[in-house]
Every structure is written in structure tokens, then in C-alpha cells.
Amino acid sequence: MKNQKQIPASAYQSGTGFINHYQNLIKDVVIPYQYEVLCDNVEGVEKSHVIANFVNAGKALRGEDIGDGFYGMVFQDSDAAKWLEAVAFSLTVYADKKLEAKADALIDIIAAAQDSDGYLNTYFTIKDRDKRWKNLMEGHELYCSGHMMEAAVAYFDATGKDVLLNVMLRNAEHIYTHFITEKNEGYPGHPEVELALLKMYRTTKNQHCLDLAKHFLDVRGVNPHFYEEEAKLRDWTVWGNDPYDHDYMQAGKPVREQTDATGHSVRAVYLYTAMADLASEIEDVELQTACRKLWESITQRRMYVTGGIGSTVLGEAFTVDYDLPNDTAYAETCASIGLMFFASRMLELDTNGEYADIMERAFYNTVLAGMQLDGKRFFYVNPLEILPGISGIAATHKHDLPERPGWYACACCPPNVARTISSFGTYAYGENDTTAFCHLFAEGTIHFENGLELLCETNYPYAFTITYTVKKGSKALALRIPNWSTQHSILVNNKTTDYEIRKGYAYLPCVQAGDKIVLSLDTSVHHIYTSTKVAENTGCVALQRGPLVYCFEGVDNDNDILSLSLTENGQITINPYAEDLLCGTTTLTVSGWKMQQTEALYSIDKRPEEVPYTLTAIPYYTWGNRGLSQMRIWMTDK
């Protein structure tokens, strides 16, 4: 039932533009840096210990002294998995024998940490083997398995090496035995294994992987009391999560009956990704309908303009409709990555530009903001407003850090960013037998399995002309026209051409080797307004150019952004692209007003004087790269 499917990571080779810059950064800085962190070789950042955990788990299995035992979160294993997956994707773009050797060595360590029955988890293997599978709510065993399965599939696709894939097939079989053969009740506290099992199934055709994925989705929420019952059978917890908060665990109803995005936001979108993927795999219309409702719940009522989701720190969770505070936002980097997953699977079900629009919004804003421009520091939380003196300090704002730390005790986001960027082609391009789909605008070469080979040239997201040269083959070509592009043109070999616009895509019936297709999108700056149902943004406007949402930082604006407002429909100048600024960016000069500061907290009948002021805006993804500074996206518009 897939309308079209994602291309594999290996089918896309980035060119010399923006995506290539980021993929190089992942290869040159992020992957090596994160490896050193995983090995605990970086001073001044949170300890990882993840590789040591695998080593020690192997020792535990062999009855040897376990050394310094386990350290870290219950899901620490997944950091190694995400790193391996990023490495795998990167290897498809850049051959690197030394890196591959490092990965192989790590895989051997992981393989040695697998129990004889196929179980693989360092926390329980080192700490207490008897606690295996007794705390699905908090234990993250299935979550860690899922990430390692994703890594195994990616590594096999990239290198043809099946050591990890076989480890994870044995692990999947162990899980199948426990949950299906032996009929143990339960479903993952943190969904992830479902989407991973579907990847395993597509790569290996192992039917048990598909059955297991379907099983976990089918049973979820059918007995919403499962976690309570599970909790009553043990005398220990990991974090003291509340087993009665069914919606928090996306377990209040069977998944096909769920309509509102609830609970922990990363868990939610990982679950919905698997639901959408399964819906297309087994042609389950009911599941697809549920996915659409959940998609609408997120994107029409519970999403920031940056593509950030999960607005509260309390449980890292979705809250209720239209509750989107800017300064206390959570908007976890991983959640926006998960939103990209969900969007890409929805797009496979229904080629509707709406899905790609959101995928692009999440990527170019929240996901990229999650990483310092130098690739060495990361945000877990992505607020839309930063107030030095309050952000990161006040009790309600402790999580909204004004500057990126080097690593986190809970380090899910940094390697997640790495694997997402290094597999960018899978989100950008799709295909079916008849058509090649360009969802996002990513320069480079794309080898579609349907035989088409395309060269894409563009300086997107800072230029809005995209040139596609057909290198080989002959197929229909579908080009997404973003929802922010109020005008566009398409030339084929310098001539206008007939094409049909359907659901946000321009369909060119047939392009062939030698054709040059030039898509020109809207280059203007757009004004974004929020529904008046969002209290936080009444009377405010945000600026966006292409996919980039802009923000205002104190450093460019006299360190006084709270005194500034924009002139309604005022002059906006798009400055020339500056190579040297923030790794290359285009700033905006915007006309507005500056209100005079008053000493008094409250002034009676003395409206502070306002004078014309010229503001400077930068893309949101570049914020926080020049030291401590105020930051704001939504500005008063008058």
C-alpha cells in the first residue's frame, strides 16, 4: 500500500552544499567526538561508559569479574546503537576503513555481551539477570533492542556485514519466544522496537520480525492496566514512573482507537511511526486512519512553529491542545527527529506535501538547532525564547538551557542528530516504479532503484533555485512545492512545461537522461501568524524564509530584544549570504520599534516611548552559537 517508499541512505550522495556540509561535520567531528565520549575520553562532559558497559556485560556472561560494572541510564546501550547507525549511514556516503574497523570492533564487543538465549541488555545482564522482562514500563530492554536492530540493518546495508544483524535476529527470536511463543503479556514502555522490527523484516524477510511488530502494536492498550499489574508483581522501579497514567504511556486505548497525541513525545512519535509503517506494510486502513488523526492532533494543535513537539518538561510530554509556551518549552530534539520519522512514513502512505512540509520544518529548525554549529555541543531542549537570568535558572526554566552542553547524562539526542543527518537522503527522496519523488531539496546525486539517476544542484536553504539534471533513465518526476512557496516556476530544458499539481507535488510526466529541470521557489520572507487559540502568541508574528524560521538574538539587537517589536508589514531586507557568519548564513534586517526601558516594574499612564529601530534576525537553527544572549522567535507585530 506504499504510494512510494523512502530511498535507502546509500542511494544518496550529497554534493557540495548545505547537506554535504552537515554530513561532513557528522563524519569529521560528530562521529569521532561521540566515539571519544562513548569511550569516556572527553574531559568535562557527562560520563558515558556505554562501551565499558558492553565489555562488562560480556565479562558477566563469562563469569569473569565485571570490573566497574554498569554506569548510566537504563537505556545507555542505545547510545552505542545510535552511534553505530550514524556510522553506517556515513559509510554509505564516505568510505572510511578506519572508522569501519572501529565499528566492527564495537560490534564484536556487543556480540560478546549477548546472552546465550539471545537476550542483549547490559543493564540487566550486569546488574540483575533475574529482573529481565519484569519492568517493561521503565526497563527499556525493548527500546535498546530496537535501536540496536536499526543499527544492525543500517550497518548491513552500508557494509554487507551481518555480524550485528545476526546478533539482532537472535535477539528478535528471543523476544518472539518470550512474548509470542511463551505468551508473556506486555508491550514496550518506550516504543521503538516496533519500527525497528519492521526495518529488520524488510531487510531479512524474517516473518517473526513482522509478526512481533504487529503483535506489540495490536496488544498495546488493549489491556490498559498492564503496567499497573506488572508493577504489582515487583518490588523495584527504575524512576518511579506512575503505572496508572495510561495516556502518558500511549496505552489508554488500543492504538487504532487513539486520537490525541499524548504522553512522552518521543515515545509517541516512535509509536506512530511504527503504526504508519505497519499500516502500509499490511494495508491496514483502520491503522492508517488512526495515524492520520494522531498526525492532525500533533501538527494542527500541539506543535511549535519550529516543528518542536512535547511542550512540557514534566514527563517530556505532550500536554493539551494549544498549550505551547515559548520560554518553558521542552521540544526535545529527539521528538522532532521522531516527527520526521512519522512524517516520512505518512508520506509513504499518502504522497501529500503536508507531510514533507512538516518534516522539513522539524529538520531545518529544531533538529539542526539541537547541535552547535561546530558539532560538539548539543541541545536536548529547544525553547523558542531564552531569557538570561531566568532560562536555565528559575525552577520552571531549569531545562531551558541558554547554551548547549557538551554531552548529557541522558544522551539520546546527540547521536540521534548524527544518524538523522547522515541518512538525510532517505527523507529527501522517495520512489515507486513509475516516479521519482523529491520531497526535500538536497543537493547531490540520487540513484533511484527504478532506474532514474538524478543530479540535484542547489544552495538550499539559502537559495531557492533547484536544478535537477537527469543522468540516466526515464521516469515521471514529482517535485514538492512547499506550502510556504506562494509562487514557483518549473522549466525543463529552459522551457516551460506542462505539469500537474496534486497534493503539494508538481508531477512531470516524463523526464529522461539529459533533461535539465529547474525549480524556482519563492525567495521572499514570510510572516507566520499563530491561531488565536494559542495564548502565548497573541499579537505576535514570526518570520520564515524558505524552511528557515528566524529568531532575534540579543547579540545582534543591543541585548534588549524584549523591548523590540516589528512594524506590521514593515520593510524587510534580505542581506547577502555571509560566508563567515555562523558557518554561512543569510540575516534579515527588519524594521520595527524599540520601547524605552523603564526602571519601574509598573508605570502608570506612562506608555514607554517607542522609537523606530532596525532589528536583525538570524535563522533559529544558528541561535546560541555566540555566547549567552536573549533569543525570541515570536515578536509583537504592530
The CA distance from 336 to 348, in Å, is 18
Q: Which of 16, 181, 489, 532 binds a copy of itself (CB under 8 A)?
A: 532
Nearer to a copy of itself, 84 or 540 (CB): 540
The CA distance from 34 to 83, in Å, is 7
Q: Which of 412, 413, 456, 551 is catalytic?
A: 412
Amino acid at position 117, single letter: D
Q: Which of 390, 463, 581, 628 binds a copy of itself (CB under 8 A)?
A: 390
List the grid coordinates of 379: 541541545
List the grid coordinates of 108: 564484536
- Beta bridge partners, 501, equal 506
Q: Rule CB under 8 A: is residue 563 a binding residue for a copy of itself?
A: yes
List the grid coordinates of 213: 511488530
Nearer to a copy of itself, 266 or 305 (CB): 305
**8 A C-beta contact, residue 23 and residue 14:** yes
Tell me how many degrees the CA angle 462-463-464 measures, rounded to the nearest 5.
Answer: 125
Q: Rule CB under 8 A: is residue 612 a binding residue for a copy of itself?
A: no
Q: Which of 27, 220, 264, 301 binds a copy of itself (CB under 8 A)?
A: 301
Nearer to a copy of itself, 523 or 563 (CB): 563
Q: Rule CB under 8 A: is residue 250 a binding residue for a copy of itself?
A: no
**8 A C-beta contact, residue 154 and residue 9:** yes
State in angstroms the smallest separation of the CB of 385 from a copy of itself: 7
Q: Rule CB under 8 A: is residue 323 a binding residue for a copy of itself?
A: yes
Q: Which of 252, 315, 405, 570 binds a copy of itself (CB under 8 A)?
A: 315
Q: Rule CB under 8 A: is residue 571 a binding residue for a copy of itself?
A: no
Q: Which of 512, 514, 598, 627 binds a copy of itself (CB under 8 A)?
A: 598
Nearer to a copy of itself, 442 or 541 (CB): 541
Nearer to a copy of itself, 29 or 595 (CB): 595
Using alpha carbons, select from 117, 123, 119, 149 the residue that is nearest to residue 56.
123
Amino acid at position 546, single letter: G
Nearer to a copy of itself, 41 or 532 (CB): 532
Q: Rule CB under 8 A: is residue 247 a binding residue for a copy of itself?
A: no
**8 A C-beta contact, residue 59 and residue 52:** no
Map grid coordinates 512519522 to a residue.
342
**Residues of this chain, 458-487, that bind a copy of itself according to CB under 8 A:** 483-484, 486
Stretch that binds a copy of itself, among 336-344, 402-410, 491-499, 521-529 (CB under 8 A): 521-529
Amino acid at position 587, single letter: T
State in angstroms the smallest separation of the CB of 617 from a copy of itself: 16
Residue 84: φ, ψ to 5°: -60, -40
Stretch that binds a copy of itself, among 10-18, 50-58, 311-319, 338-346 (CB under 8 A): 311-319
Q: Rule CB under 8 A: is residue 565 a binding residue for a copy of itself?
A: yes
Q: Which of 289, 531, 559, 571 binds a copy of itself (CB under 8 A)?
A: 531
Nearer to a copy of itself, 196 or 561 (CB): 561
Q: Rule CB under 8 A: is residue 611 a binding residue for a copy of itself?
A: no
Q: Rule CB under 8 A: is residue 601 a binding residue for a copy of itself?
A: yes
The CA distance from 17 to 80, in Å, is 29
Map grid coordinates 521503538 to a residue.
192
Q: Rule CB under 8 A: is residue 259 a binding residue for a copy of itself?
A: no
Stretch that binds a copy of itself, among 130-138, 316-324, 500-508, 620-628 (CB under 8 A): 316-324
State in angstroms the smallest separation of the CB of 302 from a copy of itself: 9
- Sheet with 505-512, edge to edge strand ranges: 5-6, 429-431, 435-438, 474-480, 505-512, 500-502
**8 A C-beta contact, residue 145 and residue 133:** no
Q: Which of 316, 332, 443, 553 is catalytic?
A: 316
Residue 62: Cβ-neighbour burial (10 angstroms; 0-12, 13-18, 19+): exposed
**8 A C-beta contact, residue 310 and residue 331:** yes
Map grid coordinates 559509510 to a residue.
91
* Packing angle of the helix pair 97-112, 163-176 (nearest 10 deg): 30
List the grid coordinates of 119: 537476550
Map grid coordinates 534586517 to a residue.
589
Site size toward a copy of itself (CB under 8 A) is 66
Q: Rule CB under 8 A: is residue 562 a binding residue for a copy of itself?
A: yes
Q: Is 412 designated active site?
A: yes
* Packing angle of the helix pair 77-93, 50-61 (nearest 10 deg): 110
Q: Is 540 designated active site?
A: no
> Measured in whole angstroms, how far is the alpha carbon of residue 404 from the centre of its chain?
17
Q: Rule CB under 8 A: is residue 325 a binding residue for a copy of itself?
A: yes
List the grid coordinates of 416: 540521534
Q: Which of 385, 431, 443, 515 binds a copy of itself (CB under 8 A)?
A: 385
Stretch that binds a copy of itself, among 86-94, 114-122, 394-402, 440-448 (CB under 8 A): 394-402
Nearer to a copy of itself, 148 or 381 (CB): 381
- Whats the size of the chain, residue-wise? 638
Q: Rule CB under 8 A: is residue 608 a binding residue for a copy of itself?
A: yes
Map grid coordinates 576503513 to a residue.
97
Rule CB under 8 A: which residues touch a copy of itself?
Answer: 299-301, 303, 305, 312, 314-315, 317, 319-323, 325, 327-328, 385, 387, 389-390, 393-397, 483-484, 486, 526-535, 538-539, 541, 544, 560, 562-563, 565, 568-569, 595, 597-608, 632, 636-638
Q: Which residues are the active-site residues?
A: 316, 412
